[in-house]
Chains A and B, each alone.
Chain A
Amino acid sequence: EVQLVESGGGLVQPGGSLRLSCTTSGFTFSNYWMTWVRQAPGKGLEWVANIKQDGREEYYLDSVRGRFSISRDNRKKSLFLQMNRLTDDDTAVYYCARGISTSRITPLLHWGQGALVAVSS
C-alpha cells in the first residue's frame, strides 16, 4: 500500500522558515516525480513545486520561487520542502503527492494527509 506522511508543519512568524518532510512507503520512491500541493483555509488547491526522480530538475509556482526549495533523499524515501521568508499567504495545508506514472506529466493519484503551516505573528 502506498503511503505518504507529511510532518514538520506548525506555527511560524512572518519572515520565518519551516521545513516540511514527506516520508513514503509502499513503492519505489526513486522511480517517481514528486509534488507538493497546498490549500489555504477555505480555498482551492494550489500546485507548489515538483522534483524529478534524481533531484536534478525542479519546477516552482511563481509566487514561491526563490523562497521555497524542494528536495529529496531517495535512500530515505523522503521528500522535503524548505520554506523561507514565509508570509501570511503561505498559510495552508501542504500535501505531498505522487503521480500515477513515473512521467513528469501525470495526474496525482496518491496524496498524504497534509501538514498545516500557519504563518502569524
Chain B
Amino acid sequence: DIVLTQSPGTLSLSPGDRATLSCRASQTVSSSFLAWYQQKPGQAPRLLIYDDSTRATDVPDRFSGSGSGTDFTLTISRLEPEDFAVYYCQQIATSPGAFGQGTKLEIK
C-alpha cells in the first residue's frame, strides 16, 4: 500500500505569509491522483486541490498544488485568517486511498 508522509506536523505562520506544505509518497504517484483537503474543527474535510493543480469549486486561487513522482506541495500564497486549519493529502490511484497524517497550520 502507498503511504503518505506530510511535513511539517505543525506550521506556525502569520496572516499574509506564504505557506508551503509537503506530502511525500512511499512510491511514485501520478500527480493526477494526488488530492489535498482542508479540515476545520468540528467540520467534515473540504476538497481543495486535485488532478495535479485543479482547484475545487469556490477554492480561492491563493491555493495551488504542485509536484510529481513522490514529492508534492500545497502552497497558500498569502494566508487569510480562515486558512488556519489542518491539511491532508490523499492518493486516489489505488485502494485503500490513503491519507497523509496531516499538517496543522496555526496562527503564530
Contacts and interface: CB of A to CB of B under 8 A. Distances in A.
B37 A45 contact: yes
Contact of A59 (B35, B50, B95): B95
Contacts of A112: 44
Interface string B26-60: 00000001010101000011110011000010000
B interface, over-half SS: loop
A114 B37 CA distance: 16
B104 to A, nearest CB: 10
Given A105-B33, A105-B92, A109-B56, A44 B44 contact: no
Contacts of A1: none
Given A45-B37, A62-B1, A100-B50, A95 B92 contact: no
Contact of B92 (A62, A107, A113): A107
B95 A107 contact: no
Nearest to A60: B96
**A interface, size bucket:** 20 to 34
B7 interface: no
A107 to B, nearest CB: 4
Contacts of B51: 107
A21 B83 CA distance: 32
Which 10 A-B pairs have CB atoms at the shortest separation, nearest pair first?
A59-B95, A107-B35, A111-B44, A107-B50, A45-B99, A44-B102, A47-B97, A47-B96, A44-B101, A109-B47
11 contacts: A35-B97, A37-B45, A44-B100, A45-B88, A47-B96, A62-B1, A95-B45, A100-B56, A106-B92, A107-B56, A108-B45
